Structure 1
């Protein structure tokens, strides 16, 4: 007697997506729990004067949130980062397209790009305060400075990576420069632009701390520095962890927005 094996029907796409989501959530949970365990062991080993425990940090975060200090710091730092980073994208993407496409522009701007991108924003903190004061402008300009060159370099690299054969083929078919830019150059450059935007966002978080330490009364950098002066290690941990969480959230939101808005270019993040 012959036994007939019937293959199980494939799982629906929604079910497979749900399984993958649960698996990813489980891995994230395990990773966070392991990290908290290591953190707790370090706190027990070194003591509260050097390493605040997760419970002490959570309690300090609750106290800082209750009096509004943490909320005000998050809002102030987020506003400065988003404005400076946004201006960096607004200037960096068009400049990168020009640098990548037009050799004359590349030769004119390349010496300045290669010179200034090696000077860290921290070196300009004092000058920014002297020239622009201790207001918001100095912090925003420093974040713009740390963002714009990263975006320009990544965008221009994306433009220059487009195959010359594609450009010649489009031109031979009668495509105008604008059509080539929209139909060939941009789709190939978008992944580089998104990567540059993410790298610029990370560097913006590095810059905001040094800028706020020197010239700010409110912000996560100012909170970390003030906590150090008062010897509150738990507050320092609150500021550091809040910066990490904020950066993680910003990067995730950027990836989601980019994947949805730029899907028509064939970008997969």
Structure 2
């Protein structure tokens, strides 16, 4: 078999191994319909509950919340908080991913690295990010570094562990089959390892991105002057529940938009890693 032919066979085999199930396909129409009906039903229940069953000051009706949210959009106040929080999320998520992927690769590929780092990874990933809030402020002050640190901490372990697991779960027979073609270590990595672990990496990134939106609220709890987390906590302090729920609504909508955009990007630019889905 010629070298070109061997390369083609190995590349196709690698992509076959890499293509495992995952939630990356477009959402079916019936799911959109039922999802919309579910949201409408929830909003109606929310309206009834806040009108008849609970104190509206503590649990504002959805119409009042939406009206307040729209006012904040029009005057630009909530857009300012959105911009601040999104920058923090983007920077922290990017740093966590850039660090988590290569460290996860090293732990998956090299046993000495795994043995050396796994105790620390297993310990730290069970310590919640919010526990590091005060230490981060003591170490880095009340500026952006402490807030970014919490988001990086939230992101890095999810990406790292998924990457490491992806490497270590590649079928051994696939690796042996690739070696019979006389591939170099770099060719093994480029044509077998990397395609096989990309679905795991993308899954870890997707989960980490969702957690980054949760972490930004904790990061903005103390010593912040802007951001959606700051808006939510400040509104709660002044019992402005409609503004508080507006901040929560915005955070949730941004999270959905980010997730949809991420999945669309995967379908557009990385579909080859999910060929058999």
TM-score normalised per structure 2:
0.86
1:170 aligns to 2:178 (yes or no) = yes
1:157 aligns to 2:149 (yes or no) = no
**1:69, 1:134 → 2: CA distance?**
22
Residue 48 of structure 2 is matched in structure 1 by 41
Deviations 1:51-86 (A, max 9, x none): 111111011112222332200111111110111011
Residues 11-160 of structure 1: pairs in structure 2 closer than 5 A: 22-44=29-51, 45-160=53-168
**1:118, 1:52 → 2: CA distance?**
35
Residue 215 of structure 1 is matched in structure 2 by 223
Deviations 1:103-140 (A, max 9, x none): 01111111110111111111111121122222211111
Deviations 1:14-57 (A, max 9, x none): xxxxxx86434422321221121121122112131221111110
Residue-pair matches, total: 250
Distance change >3 Å, CA 226–CA 71, structure 1 → 2? same
1:224 aligns to 2:229 (yes or no) = no
Distance change >3 Å, CA 40–CA 267, structure 1 → 2? farther
**1:182, 1:27 → 2: CA distance?**
42
**2:109, 2:267 → 1: CA distance?**
25
Asked whether the 8 Å contact 1:191–1:267 carries over to 2, the reply is no
1:196 aligns to 2:199 (yes or no) = no
Deviations 1:193-241 (A, max 9, x none): 1110111112112211111011211001100111011110111111111
Per the TM alignment, residue 268 of structure 1 is displaced from its structure 2 partner at its CA by 6.9
Per the TM alignment, residue 90 of structure 1 is displaced from its structure 2 partner at its CA by 0.7
**1:87, 1:161 → 2: CA distance?**
25
Higher relative contact order (CA 8 A, sep 6+): 2
Q: Which runs of 5+ in 1 are unaligned?
A: 1-19
**1:87, 1:267 → 2: CA distance?**
29
Per the TM alignment, residue 192 of structure 1 is displaced from its structure 2 partner at its CA by 0.9
**1:256, 1:87 → 2: CA distance?**
22
**1:61, 1:249 → 2: CA distance?**
17
Asked whether the 8 Å contact 1:147–1:204 carries over to 2, the reply is yes
Asked whether the 8 Å contact 2:218–2:229 carries over to 1, the reply is yes
RMSD: 1.6
TM-score normalised per structure 1:
0.88
Per the TM alignment, residue 172 of structure 1 is displaced from its structure 2 partner at its CA by 2.1
